[in-house]
Chain A
Amino acid sequence: MSKKQPQDSNQTHLDDENTSQVLTLKQEATNFLNGVRHGRMGSFPAVIGFLVLVVLFSFLSPVFFTQLNFANLLQQSAPLIILAMGLVFILLIAEIDLSAGVTSGLASAIFVVVLKNFGFPWWLSIILSLLVGMTIGVVIGIMVAKVGIPSFVVTLAAFLAFQGLQLMVIGQGGLYRVETPAILALENDNLSVGFGWALAIILVGFVLINGLVSRRRRTKNGHANRAISTLYFRVAITALVVFTSVYFLNLPRGSNPEFQLQGVPVAVLVVLVVLIPCTYLLNRTPFGIHVYAVGGNPEAARRAGINVSSLRIIIFMIGSGLASISGLMAASRVGTVDAAAGRTIVLSGVAAAVVGGVSLFGGRGKLTDAVVGGLVIAVIDNGLGLLSLPAGLNLAVTGGVLLMAATADALSRKHGTLTGR
């Protein structure tokens, strides 16, 4: 988080950065709250919203706060989160992909059809469906970046056309059962208790070691570090969330004593496997910086020598590729693929990204925002479903939450342009 900049900057000296400026945890908190007040909120409101919803539903429904439903919630949110992560890439460069949902559906359709009708091995079918998904992204990207059609229109056209294509692939009224164990495992199996704990230790250890290594490197180069308590605070929060969740998920949750149901869902691992490398790509590589640059000021990016159109094409390819993974996850969860698979998920995906704090105007947002936003959308769906309220209410509430998030985004942008100069 950037420090508050004094208006009259004549007195501040560059050298100050090297000598003093080690912020304490208290100052960091003040800075953070300042940021929140000025609209730089990130996923903070979504985290609060998630916690509020969890508490609310725990009171309203006796089933909500159980191990079984917690695992279910994570599995339910996984396809949405992965789709939303793809949309984060696209929103970061200030574009939109309305066809992400049907791309996910089409990918799952291609998977089942080549598997069953053409007798391809399951792994080849997966690769093929992902390749088709990525090709769709490349085509959309070329239409947007080279031909110059607004992404809204290109992907709306794709949204319509791919529904038709999916219908042709599946066949009228067709319904395919998913029987591949590897695909079914994604949304239905659990990691062993030991694996779950190992994963938790690796995650927390990574946050701690990464933080310490980065501090040491900065110190070696004579740069200022943030207070060590900030790091400990972050590690403590991560450890609390991760260890509590793993403990909770490792408790037996099945109603059938013959069949032990316990452990962290495989779906969580899949989300992490997508999240970690993609976050690395965005945060730690020149490509990532270029993505943010194109979202912030495409003209500046172009003048800096960045190939903006090929970057756009790659982004659409990543978005559609992640959508395809999401489609396979959804197929695993539902257990069947039909001609309508994936048709409705795209708007929830956009909602998840925006609720999580990704800006619709480009250049601002993180992949973890999609995780938080996806959990919020899933918890609304899950909680209201348990209360057996009418389905209409569910959609209305989700719409309202999205509107709130978009309002916050627009207001913070307005504030940013007012005070930016």
Chain B
Amino acid sequence: MSVPNVPVIELKSVAKSFGAVQVLSGVNFVAMAGQVTALVGDNGAGKSTLIKGIAGVQSYDSGTILFEGNEVQIKSPVDASNLGIEVVYQDLALCDNLDVVQNMFLGREVVRSISLDDETMEQKAIKTLAGLSVRNISSVRQKVSSLSGGQRQTVAIARSVLWENKLVILDEPTAALGVSQTKQVLKMVRNLADTGLAVILISHNMQEVLAVADRIHVLRLGQMVANVKASESNLNSIVSYITGAENLSISGEAAL
């Protein structure tokens, strides 16, 4: 990391409304490289709207987006991916009938003259999975249809690392997984951040957020009600931020 103290992405007082409904108002948000930044909140708190603005799916009405310290406009998913922002959606966008390597390189295949360069792609895929300490995929040449939910999530996340991204957004990566698979995916999320990427994790599971995140941002009714260090918070405090029992706005607190 060249500039460790500049956030990879910083949102300054962004707002978004749909007609009369104010979905986001004056929200500040920061994600640092090498950290897992969790974004939590109840249904309808505005998590998806916040993320869609970063992913370029739906832009904010007002507010500033700083990417690595520079003000940027993210108008489309292409803008986002040009900046190095990758979103891993909840409904994993994988093709069952293709194998792991083909899925990881889909749309960005390595080509030698006009043929596919399978060996290079296979090697890169293996290296990437190994770099994330993935141990649950035995062959990168198996079809995705034969993989379990956790293995699919692994492939989807690994796909986002392959492309020199700077920011990876994970939307409920463990929602559909069992206990041991969740553990593996969370370990991978941690490894992802440890490689130097900024990771934004959206989750409903507070235990896993506390276990894996560095900082926790809590959205409630369109406002950022908390931005706390995971190590300094506990289940009760987070839940009370989410439900509004403890409505303490600490947006003035420094990011680090």
Contact = CB atoms under 8 A, between A and B. Distances in A.
Contacts of B72: none
B135 A13 contact: yes
B123 interface: yes
Contacts of B21: none
Given A2-B146, A305-B108, A293 B93 contact: no
Given A285-B114, A285-B115, A420-B146, A300 B94 contact: yes
Given A17-B138, A286-B116, A300 B106 contact: yes
A293 B116 CA distance: 15
B159 to A, nearest CB: 9
A6 interface: yes
Contacts of A177: none
Contact of A2 (B107, B119, B123, B143): B143
A287 B109 CA distance: 10
Interface stretch (A43-51, A69-77, A216-224, A377-385): A216-224
A223 B118 CA distance: 11
B93 A299 contact: yes
Contact of B109 (A2, A9, A218, A286): A286
Contacts of A296: 95-98
Contact of B119 (A7, A21, A217, A284): A217
Interface in A303-324: 303-306
Interface stretch (B60-68, B147-155, B204-212, B238-246): B147-155
Interface size class of A (residues with CB under 8 A): 35 or more
A12 B122 contact: no
Contacts of B81: 305
B226 to A, nearest CB: 32
A286 B95 contact: no
Nearest to A283: B116
Contacts of A223: 119, 122-123
A419 B122 CA distance: 25
Interface in A351-403: 363-364
B141 A292 contact: no
Contact of A289 (B89, B116, B122): B116
Contact of A9 (B94, B96, B111, B151): B151
B111 A286 contact: yes
Contacts of B140: 14, 17
Given A2-B139, A286-B111, A301-B106, A420 B119 contact: no
Contact of A218 (B97, B114, B119, B143): B119
A261 B94 CA distance: 54
B235 interface: no
Contacts of A255: none
B79 interface: no
B99 interface: yes
A14 B102 contact: no
A6 B138 contact: yes
A295 interface: yes
A10 B133 CA distance: 12
Contacts of B51: none
Interface of A: 2-3, 5-7, 9-10, 12-18, 21, 217-218, 221-223, 284-286, 289-290, 292-293, 295-297, 299-301, 303-306, 363-364, 416, 419-421
19 contacts: A2-B139, A3-B138, A9-B136, A9-B148, A9-B151, A10-B135, A10-B180, A14-B140, A17-B139, A217-B119, A284-B116, A289-B116, A295-B97, A296-B97, A299-B93, A300-B103, A304-B93, A305-B81, A363-B96
